[in-house]
Structure 1
Amino acid sequence: MRRWLALLVAATTSLVLIALLVPMALLIRAVAENGAMGRATAAAESVAVAVGTPDLELAMAQVSRPVTVFLPDGSTVGAAAARTDAARLAATGRSVTAAASGGREVLVSAQSSGGTAVIRVFVPDAELTKGVREAWLGLLVLGIVLVVLGIVLADRLALAVTRPVDGLARVSHRLAGGDLTARAEPGGPPEVRSVALALNHLAGRIDELLVAERESVADLSHRLRTPLTGLRLDAESLRDPEEAARVQARVDALERAVSAVITEARRRSAGRASCDAAAVVGERVRFWSVLAEDQCRELSISLPDGPLPVAVSAEELAACVDALLGNVFAHTPEGASMAVRLTPHPSGAVLAVEDSGPGFDPELLERGNSGGGSTGLGLDIARRTAESSGGHLAVSTPEGGGARVEMVFTAA
C-alpha cells in the first residue's frame, strides 16, 4: 500500500508540475526574447534621432551593440551588414524585425533630408536566450524537489495507515494461534481505530465463550459420572459372573470414551499453554526408568543442557511421552532397548523415541493402527499433541531395525 500510494502521489504531482512548469518555462523564454528585442529597438530609435546630423557617429558609439545605418544614397555607416529584403522593406518607412544568421535584426526607418534611412541593430541568439537555461534548470530542480517531498509525505501518510493495519494482522494471527490475551492498540485513522476496537471486542467475546464452554464441559463431566457410577453398581449386582463381566467391560469402555471426549473438549477450550520440554520429558523418563530396569531394558536419554520451551502444556506433553513409552513397553519384548532424545530445532524442539523391537507394520499404519494388537491411540495422542503446537509427527524405521517416532513442537 505504501508503494502504490507513493506512486500515485508521484504521478499526480508530476502531472500538476508539468501543467504548471511547462507554460512557465515558455513564458520565461518569451520574456527573455521580448526584453532583448525591446532593448535593441530602443537602441535603434536612439540612433534614428541622430540620422542626418553630425552626431550620428557619436550616437552609434554610445550603443553597446553592433549598429548599421543604411543611408538613402546607398552607403553604409557602422558595422558591415548586407542590405536584406527586410532592410529594403524598412526603407519604405516601416520598422520591422527579421531573422538573421545567428540571431535577429531590428530595422527602424528614419527620415532625413536625402530620404529614408534604415537603422539596423543585430541581436545574437545568446542575448535572446540569456538566463533562460538557468531559469529552466531552477524550475527542473524545483519540480524534482516537490515530487520527492510529495513522495515522502505520502509515505509518512501511508505509514500512519499501514502500521495500525499491520498491528491488527499480527493480533489476528496471535488470536488464531490460540493467544486469547492478544489485543490491538487502537491507532491511525478513525476507520482503522474502529476495526481495532471491534477486533478487541471479538477477542473478548471469544474468551467469554470459551470460559462458558469450559464451565459446560465441567458440568457435563459431573452429570455423566453419576449415571456411569449407577451402571457400574448395577453391573456388579448381576448374578451371572460372565454377564456381569461383559456389562462391566462395556461400562468401562463407555467411561473411557466419555473421559476422552471431555478431555478433548477441555483441551480445545483451554488457552494457549507452554512448558519446559526438557523438564517434562526428563521427569516422565525417570518415572518409566523403574519399569525399564525391572524388564532389563537399556534406556538412554539425551536432553539439552538448558530449558527448551515449547507451545504445549506440561500435562499434554507428559501424556504424549507416557503414551509413546507405554507403547514401547506394551508392544516390544522384554530386554528390547529404547532411547529418548530431545533436541533443539529451528522451529522449536524435536522429541524422538526409538526402540529395538519388531517395528511398525506399514499396512496397519495406513489404517491408523501401530501393529501388535495396538489400536494406534498412542500415536494418535502424540500426533494431535504435536499438531496442537503447530508441529507434526513422523514415523520411520532406523537402519538397524526397530521403530522411531519423531515429534516436532513449535517454540513457545
Structure 2
Amino acid sequence: MLAIVALEVPLGINVVDRIRSDANAQALSQAQSTAAAANDSIEPPQLANLDELVKTNAATSKGRVMIFSAEGLTLADSSGPGRSGADYSTRPEVKAAISGDVVQIERHSSTVDRDMLATAVPVVHFGKTVGAVRITQGTAVITDSVNRAVVGLIAIGLLVLLLGSGAGWIIANQLSRPMRRLEKTAERVYLGDLNARAAIEGPREQRALAVALNNMLDRLIGMFNSQREFVADASHQLRTPLQSLRIQMDEIAYANKSPEVESEVAKANAAITRINSTIDQLLFLSRLRDRKVVATRVDLPQYAEAVVARWLPNAAAEGIDITVKGAPPWGRRYGMCSQEDLDRVIDALVENSVAYSNGKGPIEIGAVAGGIEITDRGPGLEVGEEERVFDRFARGSAGRDRPEGTGLGLAIAKEIMEIWNGSVELTNRTDGITGARALVLVSGGVRDDEDHDLRDDGELGDNVS
C-alpha cells in the first residue's frame, strides 16, 4: 500500500503538470497560428476575413477568439460581430501583446464568473506589430482533464492493490497451507487422536517440526500401549491371588464359626471386593478411548424416570425416598450419547447421593435443558471441592471417613462425558436446602418440537473423542 502511494503521488503530480503544460502549449499554438493567418488582413482591416478566421479558430480551440488592432480596438470577435470596435487596450494581456510580448495567464473573469486561461500574442507584419490575437478558454476543461487523469491513476492504483492483494493472498495461502495442516494435526492430537500424523512438507523448519511431532506421537503411543498392557497384566496377575485369598477367607469362616472370625472374614471379603472394583475401573479407564460405542437418541425425561425406577430398591434399602422431578416447561428433550456410558455416569452420581444422604431424602432426579439433574440432602461440598472431587482417587470432605468406594467413579464419569462433548459438574444446592446438585449435560439436546436432523444412532470408532 505504501509503495503504491509512493509511486502514485509523484506520478499524479507529474501527470497534472503535463496536462496543464499541454493545454497551455496548445492554446499558445492556436493563438500563434491565428496571428500568422491574420497578419495580412489587419492593415487595412479586412473584417470579413477576420470574422471567418475567428469563427474557425474558435471552433478548433473551444474558446473565445478575438483580434485587435495596434490600438487595442476589437476587429473581430468569435462571440459576435456586434462587439467590434470595443476597446481592450487596458486588459493586461492585450496591452502586453500589442507591445510585442507573448502572454499567457489564468485569471477570474467577472463577466462570465469563471476562471479563464487567457493567451495573447502579437500580430506581426513585416517586422511591425500591427495588432494582437487573444484566445480565452475556461479552465474547467483543463480541470476536468486533470480530474479524469487523477481518477484514472487512483483506479489503476486500486486495481494494482487489488491484484497485488489477491496475488499476495494466493501466495500466502500456498505458503501457510502446510502450516494449517500441521495445526489441524495438532488439534486432532489434542482431542485424543494419537494416530494422527503430520505430513512432511513445507519449509525446512516446518518439516523438522512435523518429524519431531510424529516422533513424539510414536513415543506416546508406545508409552500408552505399555501402560495399557501393564494395567491389563497387573489386573490379571492380581485377580488370581485375590480370588485365592477370598477362597481362603471362606474356608477360615467355614472352619471357625465364631462371630469374631466371621466378622473379620466379612471385612476382608469387603476389602477384596473393593480391590477388585478398583482393578476393574482402572482397566476400564485405560481402555476408555479405544472402545467402539454406539450413540443413540436418548429421551431425557423418560430416561430420568428409568433411573429412578432402577435405583428405587437400593434407595429404599437405605431408607431414602427417590423421586422424579416434575416435567420441565419446555416438554421433552433428546440427547445423543451411548446409553451404556450415560448409565455409568448417572449411576456413579446417584450412588454418591445414596451413600452420603445418611438416610435423609428425598433424592430427586429429573430432566433439565439438555441433560439430567440430581439433587440430594446430604452434607454437600466444602468450598473449593467442586473440581477436586473429579480427580482420580480424590474424596470430598464428607467421604473421608467412609471406607467404601474406589475414588474413581467421578473421574470416569467426567472423562466419559468429555468423550461425548458433554459435561458433568457437582456443586452445592442453591435453593436454600443443604445438599449437593449434580448436573450432566448431554451433547445434542434439542426440543422435541424443533426440526433437527438427528441420527437414530451412530458409531464412534477407536478414538471416541
Spell out the pairing of 1:347-362 with structure 2 (5 A cutoff): 349-355=370-376, 357-360=377-380, 362=382
Whole-angstrom CA distance in 2 between matches of 1:296 and 1:91: 124
Q: Is the contact between residue 87 and residue 118 of structure 1 (CA under 8 Å) also seen in structure 2?
A: no
Q: CA deviation at 1:381?
A: 4.8
Question: Is 1:42 the equivalent of 2:74?
Answer: no
Aligned residue-pair number: 382
Q: Is the contact between residue 94 and residue 120 of structure 2 (CA under 8 Å) also seen in structure 1?
A: no
Counterpart of 1:4? none
Deviations 1:328-378 (A, max 9, x none): 33333557322111222xxxx3321123x4432637958842526447835
Spell out the pairing of 1:46-57 with structure 2 (5 A cutoff): 46-52=37-43, 54=44, 56-57=46-47
Whole-angstrom CA distance in 2 between matches of 1:142 and 1:75: 43
SS of residue paired to 1:62 = helix
In structure 2, the CA distance between the partners of 1:75 and 1:182, relative to structure 1 (3 Å rule), is: closer
Q: Is the contact between residue 393 and residue 406 of structure 1 (CA under 8 Å) also seen in structure 2?
A: yes
Q: Which of 340, 345, 365 is the aligned partner of 1:320? A: 345
SS of residue paired to 1:110 = strand
Counterpart of 1:260? 281
Whole-angstrom CA distance in 2 between matches of 1:87 and 1:152: 52
Q: CA deviation at 1:393?
A: 0.9
SS of residue paired to 1:308 = strand
Paired AA for residue 299 in structure 1: T
Q: Is the contact between residue 194 and residue 221 of structure 2 (CA under 8 Å) also seen in structure 1?
A: no
Question: Is 1:80 the equivalent of 2:92?
Answer: no
Deviations 1:270-311 (A, max 9, x none): 68985545376555443223434665724215676353125x
Q: Is the contact between residue 422 and residue 443 of structure 2 (CA under 8 Å) also seen in structure 1?
A: no
Q: Which of 103, 117, 129 is the aligned partner of 1:117? A: 129
Q: Which of 1, 6, 15 is the aligned partner of 1:24? A: 15
Q: Scaled by the length of structure 2, what TM-score is found?
A: 0.62
Q: Is the contact between residue 106 and residue 118 of structure 2 (CA under 8 Å) also seen in structure 1?
A: yes
Q: CA deviation at 1:60?
A: 2.9
Structure 2 residue ranges without an equivalent (≥5): 55-64, 76-85, 110-116, 254-260, 389-394, 445-465
Q: Is the contact between residue 86 and residue 98 of structure 1 (CA under 8 Å) also seen in structure 2?
A: yes
Whole-angstrom CA distance in 1 between matches of 2:157 and 2:293: 49
Paired AA for residue 265 in structure 1: S
In structure 2, the CA distance between the partners of 1:362 and 1:180, relative to structure 1 (3 Å rule), is: same
Deviates further, 26-35 or 372-381: 372-381
Q: Is the contact between residue 17 and residue 143 of structure 1 (CA under 8 Å) also seen in structure 2?
A: yes
Q: CA deviation at 1:210?
A: 5.2
In structure 2, the CA distance between the partners of 1:409 and 1:214, relative to structure 1 (3 Å rule), is: farther
Counterpart of 1:3? none
Counterpart of 1:131? 141
Whole-angstrom CA distance in 2 between matches of 1:85 and 1:298: 111
Whole-angstrom CA distance in 2 between matches of 1:63 and 1:275: 99
Q: Is the contact between residue 104 and residue 120 of structure 2 (CA under 8 Å) also seen in structure 1?
A: yes
Question: Is 1:230 the equivalent of 2:241?
Answer: yes
Paired AA for residue 22 in structure 1: I
Q: CA deviation at 1:23?
A: 1.8
Counterpart of 2:439? 407
In structure 2, the CA distance between the partners of 1:28 and 1:139, relative to structure 1 (3 Å rule), is: same
Spell out the pairing of 1:10-409 with structure 2 (5 A cutoff): 11-52=2-43, 54=44, 56-64=46-54, 65-70=65-70, 78=75, 80-82=87-89, 96-97=102-103, 99=105, 103-108=117-122, 110-111=124-125, 116-126=128-138, 129=139, 131-150=141-160, 152-153=162-163, 173=187, 176-178=190-192, 191=202, 213=224, 217=228, 220-230=231-241, 232-233=243-244, 236-237=247-248, 254-267=275-288, 276-277=297-298, 278=300, 283-292=306-315, 295=319, 297-300=321-324, 305-310=332-337, 313-334=338-359, 336-344=361-369, 349-355=370-376, 357-360=377-380, 362=382, 368-369=395-396, 371=398, 373-374=401-402, 377=407, 378-386=409-417, 389=421, 391-397=423-429, 399=431, 401-409=433-441
Q: CA deviation at 1:260?
A: 3.5
Whole-angstrom CA distance in 2 between matches of 1:272 and 1:121: 101
Whole-angstrom CA distance in 2 between matches of 1:275 and 1:43: 98
Q: CA deviation at 1:36?
A: 1.0
Whole-angstrom CA distance in 1 between matches of 2:281 and 2:47: 122
Task: Using the aligned pairs only, state the percent identity.
Answer: 16
In structure 2, the CA distance between the partners of 1:111 and 1:175, relative to structure 1 (3 Å rule), is: same
Paired AA for residue 237 in structure 2: T
In structure 2, the CA distance between the partners of 1:157 and 1:244, relative to structure 1 (3 Å rule), is: farther
Whole-angstrom CA distance in 2 between matches of 1:336 and 1:219: 43
SS of residue paired to 2:398 = coil
In structure 2, the CA distance between the partners of 1:208 and 1:281, relative to structure 1 (3 Å rule), is: farther
Q: Is the contact between residue 123 and residue 133 of structure 2 (CA under 8 Å) also seen in structure 1?
A: no
Q: Is the contact between residue 96 and residue 107 of structure 1 (CA under 8 Å) also seen in structure 2?
A: yes
Q: Is the contact between residue 51 and residue 117 of structure 1 (CA under 8 Å) also seen in structure 2?
A: no
